[in-house]
Amino acid sequence: MYELIYWQEIQGRGEFVRLVLEDAGAPYVDVARDGGDVGKLLATELAPYAFAVPVLRDGDLIIPQTVAITRFLGERHGLAPPDERGRHLANAIALTIADLVSEVHDTHHPIAVNRTYETQREAAAQRAKAFRDTRLPKFLAYLEGLLGHDTTRDGRFLVGDAASYADLAAFQILEGLAFAFPRALSARRSEIPKLRALRDRIAERPRIAAYLASPRRIAFNQSGIFRHYPELDA
């Protein structure tokens, strides 16, 4: 029984881990939703190991950092490429998506995370425009270009011919962008047909479909990484 330690009220980075656990059919406890105090855990027993959540605990094994967790779970539960080249590529893709997640967050908190969005609106507007105009298309083009790039792939998945934790991460980032930047993403729709098809393919996987329809899937909200401010999606 895995323990996922993450904030209970948001999807955030913990959702990338939840998707892998759900798709793998791996039993887990969402500690905060089960009454655990995440802040207290970070300050006490997790302090020597983790700077921040998410953290996965498997008995005596403690793994922090989103991509480290999803790689561990993917390779253990058949959601990672079987060859060394593929494993390194999946890890690189997941790390790149993690960079994109950070850039999305910084559109609404470009100056300081301990200040509210309302106190940094002007800087946020500038950061969001740069994100929409230059950074978003660059990341989307990278992911689109991976699909069917060479003869080792059939174009259905980012690495090899089976779904991996990298594909689940791509699904989640598209879902988050569709919430936070619906107009900007829609404007790029024609540029990412393979990526949109991948998103649909992942959503139709039986365990993922069941999870998305369940109360375990928290809705996007204005407290998480992906926040919708219409003025930033101009």
Q: Which of 73, 220, 98, 69 is nearest to 169 (CA)?
A: 98
Mean pLDDT of all residues in 176-190: 98
Q: Which of 10, 161, 169 is nearest to 92 (CA)?
A: 169
- CATH number of the domain enclosing 49: 3.40.30.10
Q: Is 97 a residue whose pLDDT tops 80?
A: yes
Q: Is 153 a residue whose pLDDT tops 80?
A: no
- Same domain, yes or no: 53 and 105: no
Strand 28-30 with 61-64, pairing: unpaired
Q: What is the pLDDT of residue 32?
A: 95
Mean pLDDT of all residues in 208-224: 97
List phi, psi (to 5°) of 162: -145, 155
- Find the domain containing 11 and state its range: 2-76
Question: Using an 8 Å Cβ cutoff, are 169 and 93 in contact?
Answer: yes
- Same domain, yes or no: 88 and 160: yes
Q: Is 127 a residue whose pLDDT tops 90?
A: yes
- Please tell me the pTM assigned to this model: 0.96
Identify whether 221 is part of a domain: no
- Same domain, yes or no: 71 and 140: no
Cis peptide before 81 (omega within 30 of 0): no
| 234 confidence band (pLDDT: 50, 70, 90) | confident
Q: Is 35 a residue whose pLDDT tops 60?
A: yes
